[in-house]
A and B are shown apart, each in its own frame.
Chain A
Amino acid sequence: MTLADQAASPAGPTPGAITGLSEDLAAASLALARRFFAGGTMWCASPTWPFHANHVAVEFVHPVIVGKRALPAVTVPPGEDLVATLRATTRTGDVVLAVAGADDEAVASAMRRGQAWGVETIWIGAGPRPPAGAANHVLWLETSDPLEASEQVVRIYHLLWELTHVCFEHPGLLKPQETDEDCTDEVCITCSDEGRLAEVITVHGDEAVVRAAEGRERIDTSLIEVPAPGDLVLIHAGSAISSLDDPSLDDQTGAKG
């Protein structure tokens, strides 16, 4: 009866063990509330466990507590090309939430494009963590037991919903935030040194039309190798200054080989 004994024993972490996770949840909830407050939509995907994506969406659209506002959350149907669907449907200011393992290539690819699409990304999962910076918010569980992970993932998105609604009681914190330093293009350290991420839509000789958080723009690509639609590039002052290889593909093949 090992399964029964295992099932009957408390599997949750000991009190305090989710300290790091609880702080990540708090930050994700405030960010999510701000996006909703500004009119964003949350796109929910879980290629391996589509019922989790459905559960998140119904949670936000039809709250269990009477009187809580209905918030726009949408399930991305499983079986579709996740990146293609999100590319077509997301708008700047939206949120993409995924429930998936770190080895989910489609989710990793979608998350990498978050900045180019102007969306906030939330990645919920368990087991080995995605690399640092894989999403704006990584809400991760230590367990590698698939059933325990599935149970605790439900807790995470229930708490995300509960905390997001607490944030709505603090309207002052939901308004657009004033940045510390005024960002004036060329002189801003955060923009000019790093460049902005953009996704190539179409290529026209030495130029390309790209999608960046601020919208579509036409850029010069003569400084880099000819890009292909879907490539991610760093742009600065109207030019692509470097092309980003898709490490999600390389890493996965390497890991599997």
Chain B
Amino acid sequence: MTDFLYPFIEADERDPVPLLADLARSAEGKWDQSTDLRTRTLAACDQQLRTVAAAMADRFAAGGQLFTFGNGGSATDADGVAQLFTKPPMHDSVAGLPLPARSLAADQAILTALSNDIGFDVVFSRQLIAYGRSGDIAFGTSTSGNSDNLLMAFAEAKKRGMLTVGLAGYDGGRMAASDDLEHCLVVRSDSVHRIQEAQTSVAHALWGLVQAQLRTREEVTV
């Protein structure tokens, strides 16, 4: 009869109020961690983001298109980035410029065909062989920075003269060390969820900078 001493570890725990309070506090703490990581990451990547945005704007201005890719949650991020570039929302009361972008993680027929016939490592690189041209942009997202299929895609993209941009977590993994990536933006954290959250912010900031670059150029040329 020691239940009253340890009410929360027993299988007959009945009162949810203490747990709900703990959950709410935990959510608030993690929310603040996410906000903090976002702030630190955008500050640390500031110069790099501006450089990458200028390089991407060069490619878009010259008719290049953007290919995004990633696995799992990062595949959904790749879809989200492609949607942001092609169907931009209103921002600062200004309609964004729609730009050509496509997620290589979105077509299940291609993904399953390549995986079944050759292997999962080539699901992105083989698509770049089919679609990619010099002047295009390869943008791959991974939390670990170590995904084989991303590294193979970046190698293929570089070979084809594409601009290669990676978005990684932890210490950047193999993506940060690879010569095939011209730019690798790193969210320095060891929590997969917090990394993904900050990566979303980095992608959004990059999009905003590309838009600003292209708008400035239009104003100059018009």
Residues on A lying within 8 angstroms of B by beta carbon are 1-4, 6-8, 10-13, 15-16, 18-19, 21-23, 25-27, 29-30, 49-52, 54-55, 58-59, 62, 64-65, 145-147, 150-151, 154-155, 158-159, 161-163, 166-167, 170-173
Partner of A52, one of B14, B38, B76: B76
* Known A-B contacts A27-B20, A173-B13; A3 and B35 likewise in contact (beta carbons under 8 Å): no
Query: Given the complex of chains A and B, what is the CA–CA distance between A146 and B43 in angstroms?
Result: 21
Query: Given the complex of chains A and B, what is the CA–CA distance between A75 and B209 in angstroms?
Result: 32
Contact between B27 and A51, CB atoms less than 8 A apart: no
Q: B212: nearest residue on chain A (CB-CB)?
A: A3
Residues of A within 8 A of B25 (CB): 22
* Known A-B contacts A3-B209, A155-B197, A158-B196; A23 and B20 likewise in contact (beta carbons under 8 Å): yes
Partner of A26, one of B20, B42, B197, B212: B20
Contact between B42 and A163, CB atoms less than 8 A apart: no
Near A by CB (< 8 A), chain B positions 11-62 give 11-14, 16, 19-28, 30-32, 34-35, 38-39, 42-43, 46, 49-50
Partner of A146, one of B13, B19, B91: B91
Tell me whether chain B's interface is mostly helix, strand or loop, or mixed. Answer: helix
A sample of 16 cross-chain residue pairs with beta-carbon separation below 8 angstroms, ordered by A number, consists of A6-B92, A7-B208, A8-B43, A12-B38, A13-B31, A22-B27, A22-B28, A26-B20, A52-B76, A145-B91, A147-B91, A162-B26, A166-B23, A170-B19, A172-B14, A173-B14
Contact between A30 and B20, CB atoms less than 8 A apart: yes
Contact between A159 and B73, CB atoms less than 8 A apart: no
Contact between A22 and B209, CB atoms less than 8 A apart: no
Residues on B lying within 8 angstroms of A by beta carbon are 8, 10-14, 16, 19-28, 30-32, 34-35, 38-39, 42-43, 46, 49-50, 72-73, 75-77, 79-80, 83-84, 89-92, 143, 192-193, 196-197, 200-201, 204-205, 207-209, 211-212
Tell me whether chain A's interface is mostly helix, strand or loop, or mixed. Answer: helix
Residues of A within 8 A of B90 (CB): 146
Contact between B31 and A54, CB atoms less than 8 A apart: no
The smallest C-beta distance from A185 to any residue of chain B, in angstroms, reads 26
Query: Given the complex of chains A and B, what is the CA–CA distance between A18 and B16 in angstroms?
Result: 21
Contact between A8 and B46, CB atoms less than 8 A apart: yes
Given A22-B23, A49-B83, A161-B193, 10 new contacts (CB under 8 A): A8-B205, A13-B35, A55-B73, A62-B72, A147-B89, A155-B31, A155-B34, A159-B31, A162-B193, A163-B23
7 closest A-B pairs by beta carbon, nearest first, are A12-B35, A172-B13, A7-B205, A3-B208, A26-B23, A51-B79, A146-B89
Contact between B10 and A54, CB atoms less than 8 A apart: no
Partner of A2, one of B80, B197, B212: B212
Contact between B27 and A7, CB atoms less than 8 A apart: no
Contact between A172 and B212, CB atoms less than 8 A apart: no
Residue of B12, B22, B192, B208 ringed by the most chain A CB atoms within 10 A: B208
Residues of A within 8 A of B143 (CB): 64
Contact between B27 and A18, CB atoms less than 8 A apart: yes
Query: Given the complex of chains A and B, what is the CA–CA distance between A6 and B49 in angstroms?
Result: 13
Partner of A154, one of B30, B200, B212: B200
Contact between A54 and B92, CB atoms less than 8 A apart: no
Residues of A within 8 A of B196 (CB): 154, 158
Partner of B73, one of A50, A59, A65: A59
Partner of A170, one of B8, B80, B83, B192: B8
* Known A-B contacts A16-B28, A162-B30; A151 and B204 likewise in contact (beta carbons under 8 Å): yes
Contact between A64 and B28, CB atoms less than 8 A apart: no
Contact between A4 and B27, CB atoms less than 8 A apart: no
Query: Given the complex of chains A and B, what is the CA–CA distance between A55 and B208 in angstroms?
Result: 23
Residue of B19, B39, B84, B89 ringed by the most chain A CB atoms within 10 A: B19
The smallest C-beta distance from A32 to any residue of chain B, in angstroms, reads 11
Query: Given the complex of chains A and B, what is the CA–CA distance between A54 and B83 in angstroms?
Result: 14
Residue of B20, B30, B84, B143 ringed by the most chain A CB atoms within 10 A: B20
